[in-house]
Structure 1
Amino acid sequence: MQKLRDSLLSCSPKGLDDIKATDEILHDQEDVRRCIARGELEEVRGAAFFNRTWIVTERYCDNGDGVDSLVGYVHNIWYSYYQLSRHTSHDTAEHNSLVLDLIRIQGQGPLTRPVRGDYGIDIARTVEGTLWNDLPFLVTDMTEFWLNDSASMAGSQRLNYASFLAKLASTRVSKDRLCQIALILFRDLFETRQQVYPFGEPDNESPQRSHKDLQAQHLMPSVHEWTKEAGKNIFLLSEVSWNDCPSTIAHGGPLFIESEFGRQHSAGFTPWRWMFWLKRLHEFREEAKRVQEKGVEELCNDTIRRMLSETKTRNSEILRAYVSGGEWLQREKYLRCLQKIADGEDSDEGEVFEDDEDKSKSS
């Protein structure tokens, strides 16, 4: 009784069933992992998409259960798709279908039932939005999965999961909040003192590996995938200085904060942060050339081209920020490609870089 009293008087009141939900969630997650290990991916997908969503709808609409008692099922749905996405190859139709599943869940609209009185309806509202159209807890759960598990994943799993998140973010579900995971990823790669080293070891699963152990080779494939699948979203959010996420996620990394870029604006997506990432990509490309990491060099090349393509084709606030940024910004050799775009020169990005490199050598 004391637990129930405390939960009802808290800032976010919760029912008694929710107090017991943690053990049930952990048990369900273990079942999902075992099914995945046995290769039963379609069974897990069917259970999440049909069974779990049906249970939530049936219990709320027909049985009259409180929404707090159903939150555990919702968390289990997102966990199932997390596991499915990391174990399904990112370049397959099956992987794309996982994204479509979540859009279809959202498309069910707000979950409602008649009230017991004469007027109105009850809507299944949670502390993170309404079932199903807000996909509550999706962003929170997916962010925690990335923070807790991405370092220990095998490289292929990390890439699969990053691709799933980027594809889902490109649909703008959850009001762009999934893009906060890109902020975490880009900060880990571009805004810490990362370097490209010769990398002979396979990127296998390693439970002991933490985020501080990740090198550029671990992270660059995921950054490239985000840019490929959701580059337009990242660009648009940078244009409007989007910062609708917790401060612990929005803040810049040490390398960025200490730079002149970070002194302009240090949190969330901003034109300054976008330019800093572009600068760091050029630096990583040079390091990759030097240590003959051809794979990283190619990923950097393609990511740079994709970023600059958005700048060329839009009336870019980023470009205006560059032009008005001052002499210190004009001296950044890796950003001279932006000046050429501002001057209306229709050059391939690779040619732009080579021209700048040649100039720096001759000066």
Structure 2
Amino acid sequence: MDAAHHLNFAYFLATLASTGLCNDKLCRISLLVFRETSETARPLGSMSSSGDANTEATMGDLTISDLLPVAYPWIREAGGKIVQLSDVFWNDCPGTTGEYRVTSAASELGHGLSSSSGFSPNRWMYLLKRLDGIAEEAKQAGVSSVAEKAPEAIDFMLSRVEETDSLVLKEFEAAADDFIKDKTRFSVRHPSSLNEDS
């Protein structure tokens, strides 16, 4: 399956998951995608090369640039559902599916993550902060495609949480103003001007 088909399939699954189909169990996929994208140590890579499918590649061979386009549809299409599940610490996952990666729990960013697994406000905040870091890393490395895509994902995350009165929103509002770049432009009273039709 080439990159375009992967992307289309991710949008399809994320859209289904946003409806709560199968008692929200489709959202297990997003946990795996977010874990591999943001909680696992990987090189940045570039989106220009990520479209060249390597049938021999393993999960360990993938870069952030390979995985970010797959994570993006989950944030955009199922973001509201993910906020809801984070609020109730949802973890209806078999085995280790919902576990935090050791690399994230051991990092400064992952310090606030509990030993439990699944969705949580802390994990949502970790993903937000990690995307901000990826955007900055990509900007410094001159990888413009990632430097643009990561902030778009952040905008969608924040637009979804601003639609709620959730634990996730309270965590975000309680965070320091420099938690992410331009944090102060986001608030319930002044929602993001993101155009979802773009």
TM-score between the two structures when normalised by the length of structure 1: 0.48
| Structure 2 residue aligned with 1:260 | 111
Contact persistence 1:279–1:335 (CA under 8 A): no
Give the number of the structure with larger relative contact order, counting CA–CA contacts within 8 Å between residues 6 or more apart. Answer: 2
Offset of residue 199 of structure 1: 5.3
CA distance in 1, matches of 2:42, 2:78: 23
Contact persistence 1:241–1:269 (CA under 8 A): yes
Of 176, 190, 193, 1:330 maps to 176
- 1:189 matched to 2:37: yes
How much is the aligned-residue C-alpha RMSD, in angstroms? Answer: 2.5
- 1:303 matched to 2:149: no
Q: How does 1:84-95 map to 2 (within 5 A)?
A: none
Offset of residue 248 of structure 1: 1.3
Contact persistence 1:241–1:268 (CA under 8 A): yes
Q: How does 1:67-106 map to 2 (within 5 A)?
A: none
- 1:346 matched to 2:190: yes
Offset of residue 331 of structure 1: 7.8
**What amino acid is the match of 1:286?**
E
- 1:280 matched to 2:130: yes
C-alpha distance 303-168 of structure 1, shift in aligned 2 (>3 A): same
Structure 2: runs of 5+ lacking an equivalent: none
| Structure 2 residue aligned with 1:211 | 59
Per the alignment, in what secondary structure is the counterpart of residue 247 of structure 1?
coil
Contact persistence 1:155–1:203 (CA under 8 A): yes
- 1:233 matched to 2:84: no
Offset of residue 161 of structure 1: 1.7
Offset of residue 332 of structure 1: 5.9
Aligned pairs, number:
191
| Structure 2 residue aligned with 1:269 | 119
CA distance in 2, matches of 1:232, 1:336: 22
Contact persistence 1:189–1:219 (CA under 8 A): yes
CA distance in 1, matches of 2:46, 2:16: 33
C-alpha distance 166-196 of structure 1, shift in aligned 2 (>3 A): same
User: Percent of pairs identical after alignment?
Assistant: 32
> What are the superposed Cα offsets for residues 68-104 of structure 1, whole Å, 9 maximum, x if unpaired?
xxxxxxxxxxxxxxxxxxxxxxxxxxxxxxxxxxxxx
CA distance in 2, matches of 1:243, 1:276: 17
TM-score between the two structures when normalised by the length of structure 2: 0.84
Contact persistence 2:37–2:64 (CA under 8 A): yes
Q: How does 1:1-363 map to 2 (within 5 A)?
A: 153-198=1-46, 200-201=48-49, 203-258=51-106, 259-262=110-113, 264-322=114-172, 330=176, 333-334=179-180, 337=183, 341=187, 346=190, 348=192
Structure 1: runs of 5+ lacking an equivalent: 1-152, 351-363
Offset of residue 197 of structure 1: 3.2
Offset of residue 336 of structure 1: 7.2
CA distance in 2, matches of 1:212, 1:223: 16
> What are the superposed Cα offsets for residues 245-268 of structure 1, whole Å, 9 maximum, x if unpaired?
113101011232222122x35400
Per the alignment, in what secondary structure is the counterpart of residue 31 of structure 2?
helix
CA distance in 2, matches of 1:332, 1:246: 36
Per the alignment, in what secondary structure is the counterpart of residue 333 of structure 1?
coil
CA distance in 1, matches of 2:178, 2:117: 22
> Which deviates the most, 306-315 or 172-181?
306-315
CA distance in 2, matches of 1:218, 1:162: 13
Contact persistence 2:112–2:122 (CA under 8 A): yes
C-alpha distance 290-335 of structure 1, shift in aligned 2 (>3 A): closer
| Structure 2 residue aligned with 1:3 | none
Contact persistence 1:182–1:226 (CA under 8 A): yes
CA distance in 2, matches of 1:270, 1:217: 25
Offset of residue 337 of structure 1: 1.9
